[in-house]
Amino acid sequence: MATSAFAADFVLVVNKKNTLSSLGTNDAKQMYLGKKTSWSNGQTIVLYSQYDEKVTQAFVDTVVKKTVQQFQIYWKKALFTGTGTPPIELKDDAEMKKFIAADPRGIGYISRAALDDSVKEIKLN
């Protein structure tokens, strides 16, 4: 029940030039765990995350199926062992939209209320 409430609190976003329109939740999880690293066109996926605790908690709970703390520990271990590069941390929705709008390889998440035409929403299925 909490997951469906959280799901409405964030949207996954990409650059408007990205041809993707939807993404399986498992594919999004694989991206955010560093297991899927390239778009279908071969370009490297650039992951963005944000410091806003409410939005991040909603995203991590729903998509990654971890707590924020578990997610952070996962990426600290990956960085320490050289097995992955953690998402680029941004301050908030406004900064996320700015970076995603400028990076055709990027993917991130923002609160649903912050969605505008500067970025493209990716439907999770």
Tell me, what's the pLDDT at 8? Answer: 56
Nearest Cα to Cα of residue 109 among 3, 40, 31, 37: 31
Q: List the pLDDT tens digit at each of the 125 positions of the chain.
A: 344 444 458 999 999 999 999 999 999 999 999 999 999 999 999 999 999 989 999 999 999 999 999 999 999 999 999 998 999 999 999 999 999 999 999 999 999 999 999 999 999 99
The string of DSSP letters for 65-104 reads -S-HHHHHHHHHHHHHHTS--PPEEESSHHHHHHHHHH-T
Predicted TM-score of the model (pTM): 0.91
Task: Give the CATH fold of the 2-124 domain.
Answer: D-Maltodextrin-Binding Protein; domain 2 (3.40.190)
Tell me, what's the pLDDT at 92? Answer: 96
